[in-house]
Structures are given as structure tokens and as C-alpha cells.
Structure 1
């Protein structure tokens, strides 16, 4: 098979060399298309095209002696972006990339539906399905990398990088609905039970459609400029705060459900008084159900095969669901009632724009545009493509623009906003496949998972304790990602000061979420002033938003001076000079 790229002579190209040729004026296209058709026929009808020479046994061999002796020190063959990959391997790895994303796809809509807007099971299942479908569409756009005609710009990275729902919308949603339930614009029962509030989700969707354009415009700003305004000291702190904040929400579910934590009436027991085996919040049996997810994830990480390790979260969920099902904590009614097939707009929400959401969402999308860059860098590095220069900058620009377009598509499809993720990088490293074919195949699987309504119904019906165990693990990985970014920061006196201020106020928001309630309490008839006040409250009471505002301000305002302590630390460790200040 001839090489697709002249720079890599050993690459297994997806098409004959003639496929990359340019057609000269006056030249007939018939020979080129004949060669393409001939190649395609050989590819789909031969054993080599379907199976190839990949060692499939490696993918399913557990890390248990003596089974793992054969693959000690084994390195899987590497398939580049455009290399020819056997059809069977493409399908297997496409499914694997889809499976490794399930946890991060279902967690935001489940948290939104149950912890913020108190939707019923049918609406929850629909939001999960909508998240799968919009994720599949955005990921396909990211992998394809569409060139904007007559410009040097692209939509997408052209890498096997995935796009999924952002967790950053959750703190905003929780704070916003808390305000609406407090001021009576979301319904509450006579006993204080908070009822479903689809109007609030419609307000968030409408406000997203107005604010996502800031990220789309930022995609045309040079990455170096973005890094200068939003350095790692800012992006690392916001990731850390988002992770810590969400762990608390996950722990509420782990204890039984966020609804029944100090709940009354229908929510006096967890997840509610009508569920199978209802128990008080934090009952040891409920905590144990969550731990089954944790234990399964740890077990898979230690002893699992390569395919199992990269899907440890979904395996942990499966074990948790199996244990909870066998012990009688499942209600199958919602699964039986769920439609076999669903799609976007089966349920709709009344769109509106709330002025209180504009500033927080603008800040969120600005942060999204910057925070996705390390993930794109990581995916490019393990995909064996350039990680600097014009081509890499174009990939970053395309990735930021694709995230913005993905959020726009998701909002139009009633789903949560999107951001590039690096959760599938482990699959690329373990399997040695960075081919975009696997990315396209994963997109198809994700869309199909969303279309089949029973699949979403399973996640919408699982016991909250099982979901909480998964969420605590998943949200902790966000905090760890923040620590990883902060580990790249040069700890000068100036940067330590910025971190102290930003994290200090952010931690206040996490530990005392109502600390600002009695300061801005305007209740007059001026609607504009009331909306502006609510927007300020939303900013101040959302940990990563206030931390980002303070971090960016201090980074731009404080002089970049050196101190004797910085020089001393540099001399003692010899490590500070290894990190380039951005």
C-alpha cells in the first residue's frame, strides 16, 4: 500500500497515493476515480481490509499473571490520523472511544435534571439522549475539520479529539435555579418541595444562544494572545474549583439524592418515599452502593485489559447497577415506559433570555475557549503531529471554534454546552490508534446511543447512590486536571499571590455558598436593576466564575516583578527555569 503522506514512509494510508494528487487543468479525473474505486473494492472485500495484522488478543488480555506475560513491555502498532485501519479495528475502537465518554456525557444532564431543575424521569431521559446526539454531532465536526472557504481558518482540530458536555455549566445552573426558587419564579409545593422548572432551563438555553458567540469570535484570536490574558494560573485554578464544587454535588447523590438531603414530605427518604427500599440520606447501605462503583473502577485499573481500563467508568457504573439491581434498589417502570426510539425536540423548552445569566455565561465561554487548549495540545502530542507552529495554531483555532459551534448546536438541540475533552487520550495511548476513522465511528455510536431511548432511560433510572459514586470519581478527575495545570505554573511571589486571592474567594463560595445573600438584596420595581443585581450575585456565588474574574484582573494589573525569594527558589531547585512563563 502506498503512503498517504510522503513524510511518513511506513504509514498505512487510507487510500492509494493517487488520492492525494492534485488534478491539473485539462487532466481527466476518470483514472483517479477508477483507482479510488478499485482501492475501496479491495479494502471492503479482502481479509486484510477487514482484519489486518493487528493483535486483537492484546486488547482483551487482562493484567493478571500469567496471562499478561506475553504482553509485558508490548507496544501496540501506531496508526496515524489518516492511516489505513482495518474495518474491524475501526469499529472496536470507535465503540471504545464512545464507551470511555459515557460517564462525562451523562453526568451533566443527570445533574441538571435532578439536582437543579427537578425534572421527572421522562424529561431526564430525554436530556440524556439529547446530550448523546449533540455530542456525536459535535465530535464528528471536530474530527472532520471543515475548512472555511477562502480563509486560513477551520472548524475542528482534525484530530481524534472528542467533544462533550462541559461541567462548567453546572455551578451556574445550580446557583441560577437556587435564585429562582428563592424568589418564586420557579414553582414550589405547599410543603416546600421544589417542582420541575422547565422555564429556567429554557432561559439558560436562550441565554447560551446569545452568549456563545464570544467563544466563536475568540477562536480567531491568536492562541499566544489568549494564553497571555488567561495564563495557566487562571485556567488551573478554575478547573480545580469546578472539580471541588461538583464533588459536593456528587456526594449529595452518593448519600441518596440531593433532593432528600434534609428533605421533607415526598423526599423525606431517599431517593423518595415511593422508591424501592427508601432509606434516610447517608444510610450505610446507600453509601455502600456508591462504593461498589469506586471499587470496580479500582479493580479494573489494576487488573483489567486495555479495553477495560479505558472504559473503567462505564464498567464501574455497570457493576453498581448490577449490585443495586440484585439487592432491590431499582425501579424498572421508567425503563419500560421509555420510548424505544427518540430524537431531538421530542421535548422542548420555552426559550427566553435572562439578563442575570449573560455575564456569567460570557465569562464561562471565555474560560471554555482557553481551558480547551491544553486538551488539544495533549491529543496532538500523542497523535504524533506538530505541537507548535502554524499548523498547530490552526488546530487550536479550529478546536475553539468547533467548541463554540458545538455549544450552539447543542443549545438548539436543547442540550448542555460543549467543550473539547481529553478523556479519550488514554484509549489512543493504549491502543496505538489516533486514526480519525475511529473518531467518526465513535460519533455514529454516540448518536445511536442517543436515538435508542431505552439506553438513556437506564441512566435516568439508576439509583442516585450509584450515580453519585461515579460522579465523585469523575468530578475528582477535573480537580486533578486543575492540579496538573497548576503544576506547570512557575511559583513566583506574584503567581502565588494571584492563586491565593482567586482560590481563597473561590473556596469561600464552596464552603459558604450563601455568604453573599444579604449584601445585594434589591427588591424594588426597577426590573433592569434587579436583573443586574441577580447577574452580579450569580457571578459572585459561582466559585470558578469569581476566581476567573479575579485571576484575570490581577494577572493584568499586577507588575511582573521578581523578588529575592524567587531567585533563591530558582537556585535551590533548578526547576523554575524549566517552565516557560506565559
Structure 2
């Protein structure tokens, strides 16, 4: 492929994917088919990508523009080896809300830029030194705890939105759940989007939607841009998000590698850098922070097309859609009841994704180190403990993340020194149930 990753070769006759075969990242189907698959990727990312700016109050069109630009940058920086769409990250919702309360939207944008810069630095280090040190610093019990507490910390936000339109919220929740189990393929994977549409329809019938802004918006024009301001006090809010983005990106690269049978470890650092740069650019212009999207992995698995050409199409389509202000104004009319209903499902899913990390890695909770790490971190995150030191304020997500890291590594170091608990050696899963002697810590 070319340095930009755009030198695709035609897969077979360009029309069909034979049974047992797949279209590789450096291949493509005919352009009409590639455009169609790219459009599927836009639909797959649409619901989740728009929910973040709607919940945080950012302009939806601006976020869509930077998600498209970020996707193209990701493809360029990874030289077309990792097919991925960069959509809005839900991990940013809680810190954005907290930063806005302190310093307004500009302060939240500054936090997004700083998070992106740190992620890019981590990506550069991983590119030069490999990713083993991340796995050592953030074993599954820690990563799962951080992801879980970020999702569950948002529960009060969902509750507040639901209370503004309880009937609409319940319809939205039921629609999401029913679509998930009633439909197969792409429709089942679009349950959030379809549920939001169903809730929106009910909200219209109940007179909860205000269409005035749509009439005032132009048909064609640039999205609304905003500049960030930087405050040291928001650093503690956004640091945990970086750890989640690291885990999400590494997981995405490993998933694509498993599906395509290719070794993508050498480009893991590039993927992190790309997401970091995309997040910085988004924050600098008024958009939400980005992450690699699991929703689009489903499209690839269903179509067996891993071509990065389809993601170029998706990125370009997203940019073009962002240039229609009426479209953005329509999205912004989604009422709180719909957002609250979707939030109940999404925030719960984020929380359970943390549990999934524990289950997938067989984290052993009979080990009191693991039990203490997860238990204390979750309580701090869900209760949203706050600690203020001078101008710095650390909220539940930051404190819960710090607790997970300090408790795991602190207890492990003491247990290793005292010989009071099994500590995994190099190459041995830290979560394995080894049947060792009962811990003196319990």
C-alpha cells in the first residue's frame, strides 16, 4: 500500500466475497459496493456519536465534522493497516459535565485537548517501547474497574434526564431492548439509533419537541466552532479517560488482528497517537473527544469487509453531513426524556463492559487484592467522592481510578514482600486461580 494507506488492490472480481474469505484492509470491492459499505459504517456510528454532544450540550454538527476528520487522520497515521471509525467517546461525558460546571464549555474543551495530548504521548511511547508496560500498569482488574466506574458514575445524569420525560424515556428503553432481540444483522446492531427514533416519535406526539431552531438554521454552512481554555483544575477529571481510551484502542486493534489474522501489534502505538491527535483537534474546535468504535466492528464482522477504503468513504460522508446546519439543528431537538432513556441503557452497558473485561480475563475475585481493588474503586466512583486541594478538584472518576491503581499495586507490593498472597510472575495471568494458600489479608 502507499504511505497514506490508499493503494488498495481489488478483491477478486470486486463484486463478491467467497465463503470463508474476507476483504483485507489493503483490498477493496468495486467503488459502488465500497461506498455502500461506507454508508453502513456511518449509520452504525451515528446514534452513539450524536448522543455525546446532545448529552453534553456541544453542537452535534461540530462533533460529526471532527469525527469524520479524525477518522481520515487515523487511517493516514496508521498507514491504512487498521480499519476503524473514530466516533464520540462516552468516557468523556462525566468529565465534560464536571468541567463545564467549573469553567464552562471552553474549560471542558481544554480538558479534551489535554487528554488527547496525553494519549498521543502514550502512543508515541508505545510505538517506541511496546505495550507490555501498559498491561503491567493496568491489569484487567484495574482496567475493568475504571471502565465500570465511569459508566456507573453517570447514573445520576440519566436519572435527571428521565425525570424530565418519564413516559418518553420508558418507551426509548423498551424500544432499544426489543430491537436488540427482535432483529438480526445490522438492524440489531442499530438498536440505540432505532430506540432513539422511536422515543423521538413519542416525544413529538406528546409535544416535547421544539422545532423552532430548525427553521432558523441555514441549509448549507460550517458548523459552530469554539475555542478551548486551559485550567489545571480539570486535569484530574480527564486523566482517567485517557486510561480508558488506551484500553479501548488496544482492544480494538487486537480484535481486528484476530478477525483478519494479521499481526497489528507494531501499529498499536500509531493507533493511540492517531486517536490522541484526533481528540486534540476535536477539542480545539468545539467537538467531543474520539475513540475507536466497536459498533463498526459489528459491520465488518457481518459483511466480512475490513477494507479501509470503506472507512475513507465513512469519514468523508460524515464531513459532508456536518455541512448542513439544518441537519444538525434537527439532531439538537432530541428532548431530555429520549436522552435519559438512551443513557440508562448506554451507561449501564459501559458499566457492564468493565465486568466483561473481568470475565474475559478470568479475574479471580477470591483473591482479596482483586476484590479490594474493584470494590473500593466502584464505591468511590458511583458515590462520586470529591477531594479539593487548592485549585484542584478531584471527582469520583479520578479518585476511583487512582484508588484502583494504588490499591492494586500497593497491596501487590506489600503481599509480595510479606509472602502473604500469590503474585503472578512474568507471563502468568494476574487473575489466574492458582489454588494457593489463603491470604493473610482476608
Task: Give the TM-score of the pair, scaled to structure 2.
Answer: 0.83
Superposed displacement of residue 307, structure 1: 2.7
Question: Are 1:492 and 1:566, in contact at CA under 8 Å, matched by a contact in 2?
Answer: no
Matched, 1:206 2:110: yes
Q: Which residue of 2 aligns with 1:382?
A: 259
For the Cα contact (< 8 Å) 1:161–1:420, is it kept in 2? Answer: yes
What are the within-5 Å matches in structure 2 for residues 423-502 of structure 1?
423-492=295-364, 496-502=368-374
Counterparts of 1:360 and 1:201 in 2: how far apart (Å)? Answer: 14
Displacement of 1:232 in angstroms is 1.5
Contact 2:220–2:323 at 8 Å: present in 1 too? yes
- 1:294, 1:363 → 2: CA distance? 28
SS at 1:424's partner residue?
A: helix
Measure the CA separation in 2 of the matches of 1:409 and 1:447. 14
2:226 alignment counterpart: 348
Kindly tell me: are residues 308 and 207 of structure 1, through their superposed partners in 2, closer, same or farther at Cα, counting changes over 3 Å?
Answer: closer
Do structure 1's residue 357 and structure 2's residue 234 form an aligned pair? yes
CA–CA separation in structure 1 for the residues paired with 2:423 and 2:226: 56
CA–CA separation in structure 1 for the residues paired with 2:111 and 2:257: 33
> In 1, Cα distance between the equivalents of 2:253 and 2:10?
29
User: d(CA) in 1 for partners of 2:433 and 2:79?
Assistant: 34
Rounded to whole Å, the distance in 2 between the matches of 1:91 and 1:300 is 26
Aligned runs of 1:116-127 on 2, under 5 Å? 124=58, 127=59
Distance in 2 between the 1:305 and 1:369 partners?
31
Q: Tell me the equivalent position of 1:88.
A: 32
Instruction: Give the deviation of 1:236 after TM superposition.
Output: 0.8
The equivalent of 1:313 in structure 2 is 192
Residue deviations 1:102-146 (CA, integer Å, cap 9, x gap) = 222112212211xxxxxxxxxx5xx2111101111111222x243
Q: Distance in 1 between matches of 2:307 and 2:96?
A: 36
Deviations 1:79-117 (CA, angstroms, capped at 9, x unpaired):
22122313332222211111111222112212211xxxx
CA offset digits 1:522-555 (Å, max 9, x no partner): xxxxxxxxxx5242x3x2x232x22221222233
Between 1:445-454 and 1:365-374, the stretch displaced more is 365-374
Q: Which residue of 2 aligns with 1:533?
A: 390
1:248 maps to 156
Shift of 1:385: 2.1
Pick one of 258, 270, 292 that aligns with 1:420: 292
Matched residue SS, 2:90: coil
Q: Is 2:404 the counterpart of 1:551?
A: yes
Residues 140 and 363 in structure 2, CA contact (< 8 A), matched pair in contact too:
no
Kept in 2, the 8 Å contact 1:111–1:170? The answer is yes
Q: Which residue of 102, 108, 111 maps to 2:46?
A: 102
**SS class of match (2:153):** helix
| CA apart distance, 1:211 | 5.2
1:38: which partner in 2? none
Contact 2:99 2:107 in 1 (8 A): no
What does the per-residue CA deviation read over 1:139-182, in whole Å, with 9 as the maximum and x for residues that have no partner?
1222x243xxxxxxxx477222221222222222233344x3xx
What is the distance in 2 between the residues matched to 1:320 and 1:211? 33
1:134 aligns with 2:66: yes
Aligned-partner Cα distance in 2 for 1:328–1:306: 33
Instruction: Call closer, same or farther: CA 1:300–1:371 in 2, change over 3 Å.
Output: closer
Q: Which runs of 5+ in 1 are unaligned?
A: 5-12, 18-42, 56-74, 114-123, 147-154, 181-198, 257-285, 387-391, 521-531, 568-573, 578-582
- Equivalent of residue 218 in structure 1, options 104, 114, 122: 122
SS at 2:97 equivalent: helix
Match of 1:297 among 173, 176, 179: 176
Aligned to 1:60: none
1:111 aligns with 2:19: no
Contact 1:254 1:468 in 2 (8 A): yes
CA distance in 2, matches of 1:206, 1:247: 25
Aligned to 1:33: none
Cα distance in 2 for partners of 1:254, 1:244 equals 16
Rounded to whole Å, the distance in 2 between the matches of 1:367 and 1:307 is 27
Aligned-residue Cα RMSD (Å) equals 3.1
Q: 1:108 to 1:336 in 2, by over 3 A?
A: same
Which structure: greater helix fraction?
A: 2
* In 2: Cα distance, 1:213 partner to 1:239 partner: 20
| Counterpart Cα distance in 2 of 1:234 and 1:457 | 40
Out of 331, 334, 345, the position equivalent to 2:213 is: 334
CA distance 1:291–1:226, change in 2 (3 Å):
same
From the superposition, tell whether residues 450 and 247 of structure 1 become closer, same or farther in structure 2 (CA, over 3 Å): farther
Question: Could you tell me which residue of structure 2 aligns to residue 403 of structure 1?
Answer: 275
Deviation for aligned residue 1:77: 5.5
Distance 1:94 1:313 in 2: 19
State whether residues 97 and 427 of structure 1, in contact with CA within 8 Å, keep that contact through their aligned partners in structure 2: yes
Unaligned runs of 5+ in 2: 2-6, 425-430, 435-442
Retained in 1: the 8 A contact 2:376–2:404? no
Q: 1:156 and 1:414 mapped to 2: Cα distance?
A: 27
Q: How far 1:305 moved relative to its partner?
A: 4.8
Matched position secondary structure for 1:419: strand
Partners of 1:211 and 1:433 in 2: how far apart? Answer: 32
Q: Per-residue displacement from partner, 1:38-78 (whole Å, max 9, x unpaired)?
A: xxxxx9xxxx65xx2469xxxxxxxxxxxxxxxxxxx7862
Give 2:265's aligned residue.
Answer: 393
1:287 CA displacement:
2.4
Whether the 8 Å contact between 2:141 and 2:373 is mirrored in structure 1 is no
Q: Which one has the largest radius of gyration?
A: 1
